[in-house]
């Protein structure tokens, strides 16, 4: 919602565009592509933000780029973006910056900096469910004057008074809260943020950096496993404790199913809502992607390539990370005990179907 809100404001059809990177989650790509128009800038081979390429595009656009939209951290590789350096570039060339901080905010303290600082952040958005809160609530930080006009979404609660032919909008924040608000979501998100602050971002980050290094290095040592984005160990603040990887000769869906069914380990697999980035990281050519697009459009989703992603959080331990690595090692060696069937959408399930309730939970439910 937050990014769509900004995109709606940017869609002035005045010929100015939004610069996005190839790294973006679809949430930070589609609103620009379909509402305001975008220029997509490439990345380094390993999938890092390329500041020179961003500057080149901004210079070439000659004032026609109004906004630079970049993620604070990638949900595919965990790479943390140099957001303040990107902000400086954007401001130097007359644009503003929007940071999709969905992936960054749970792990790093974010400093939006004062408006007169060249590296300040104009817009920051984040999602509650990434902050260990429930789905459905999020945050948009924006300059106060951004909200000065009529709200984009209109409805009850957003007004001060409505007469037969006049509307007086409420002050902030009510003016942006049309309809019955998601009270539980907002309160839970507030509590989640307070809890993270109490736990301490520095302590959590130190722990996560250690775990992340163990994860990436451990995966890279397993024969047949390739970590997307390379294995450069994360220095403090440059890579989140997550890794996406492919296992030679095994479909990503099969690896995920085996990890879940045989090891009780939950991972995500596929393209992680970041198709262009995953295609880049898998070194696919435009022709390869066009072939896949044709297959998927014809309903053959099995053709969609992808990877497996493991994400660690502050509550994870070194022992859990090691157990995960052992599980991947066994799966990569082909030591998969159950048999699995692939569905039309490309996902795999045990041939007898997924157990409905895990045994441990069953016991809890019964007593
Ligand atoms: C980097 C990034 N941006 C945006 C989103 C989308 O957030 P939401 O699910 O709240 O739309 C996600 C994850 O879901 C994400 O990882």
CATH of the domain at 108: 3.40.640.10
Residue 151 lies inside a defined structural domain of this protein: no
As a whole number, the mean pLDDT across the chain is 93
62-76 core/surface letters (b: 16 or more CB in 10 A; e: else) = eebbbbbbbbbbbbb
How far apart are the CA of 171 and the centre of ligand 1, in A? 28
- The residue range of the domain holding 109 is 2-146
Residue 223 located in a structural domain: yes
Residue 108 in this model has a pLDDT that exceeds 80 = yes
What pLDDT is stored for residue 366 in this prediction? 66
Instruction: Show which of 121, 146, 171 is a domain's final residue.
Output: 146
> Are 232 and 121 contained in the same domain?
no
The residue contributing the CA closest to ligand 1 atom 12 is 102
Region 267-284 average pLDDT:
97
Give the CATH number, domain containing residue 232. Answer: 3.90.1150.10
Is-catalytic flag, 273?
Answer: yes
Same-domain check for residues 10 and 142: yes
For ligand 1, atom 6, name the residue with the nearest CA: 27
Sequence-distant (≥ 6) Cβ neighbours of residue 232 within 8 angstroms = 46, 239
Residue-wise pLDDT for 166-212, tens only, equals 999 999 989 999 999 899 999 999 999 999 999 999 999 999 999 99
Residues 342 and 236 in one domain: yes
Q: What percent of the chain has pLDDT over 70?
A: 95
Residue 1 CA to ligand 1 centre (angstroms): 10
| 345, 303 contact by CB (below 8 A) | no
């Amino acid at each position: 919602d937050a990014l769509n809100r900004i995109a709606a404001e940017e869609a002035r059809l005045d010929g100015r565009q939004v610069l996005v990177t190839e790294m973006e989650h679809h949430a930070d790509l589609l609103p620009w592509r379909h509402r305001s128009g975008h220029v997509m800038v490439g990345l380094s081979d390993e999938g890092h933000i390329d500041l020179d390429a961003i500057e080149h595009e901004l210079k070439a656009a000659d004032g026609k780029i109004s906004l630079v939209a970049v993620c604070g951290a990638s949900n595919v590789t965990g790479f943390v973006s140099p957001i303040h350096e990107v902000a400086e570039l954007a401001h130097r060339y007359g644009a503003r910056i929007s940071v999709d901080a969905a992936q960054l905010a749970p792990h790093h303290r974010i400093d939006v900096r004062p408006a007169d600082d060249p590296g300040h952040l104009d817009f920051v958005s984040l999602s509650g469910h990434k902050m260990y809160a429930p789905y459905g609530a999020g945050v948009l930080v924006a300059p106060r004057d951004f909200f000065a006009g009529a709200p984009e979404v209109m409805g009850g609660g957003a007004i001060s008074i409505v007469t037969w032919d006049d509307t007086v909008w409420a002050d902030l924040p009510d003016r942006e809260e049309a309809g019955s608000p998601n009270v539980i979501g907002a309160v839970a998100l507030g509590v989640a943020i307070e809890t993270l602050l109490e736990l301490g971002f520095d302590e959590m980050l130190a722990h996560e950096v250690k775990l992340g290094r163990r994860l990436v290095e451990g995966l890279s040592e397993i024969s047949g496993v390739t970590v997307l984005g390379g294995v450069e160990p994360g220095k403090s603040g440059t890579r989140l404790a997550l890794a996406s990887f492919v296992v030679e000769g095994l479909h990503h869906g099969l690896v995920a199913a085996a990890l879940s069914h045989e090891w009780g380990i939950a991972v995500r697999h596929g393209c992680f809502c970041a198709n262009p980035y995953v295609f880049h990281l898998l070194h696919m050519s435009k022709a390869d992607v066009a072939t896949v697009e044709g297959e998927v459009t014809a309903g053959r989703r099995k053709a969609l390539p992808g990877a497996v992603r493991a994400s660690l959080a502050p509550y994870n331990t070194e022992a859990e990370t090691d157990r995960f690595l052992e599980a991947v090692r066994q799966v990569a060696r082909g030591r998969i005990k159950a048999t699995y069937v692939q569905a039309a959408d490309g996902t795999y399930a045990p041939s007898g179907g997924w157990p409905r309730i895990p045994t441990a939970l069953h016991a809890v439910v019964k007593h």
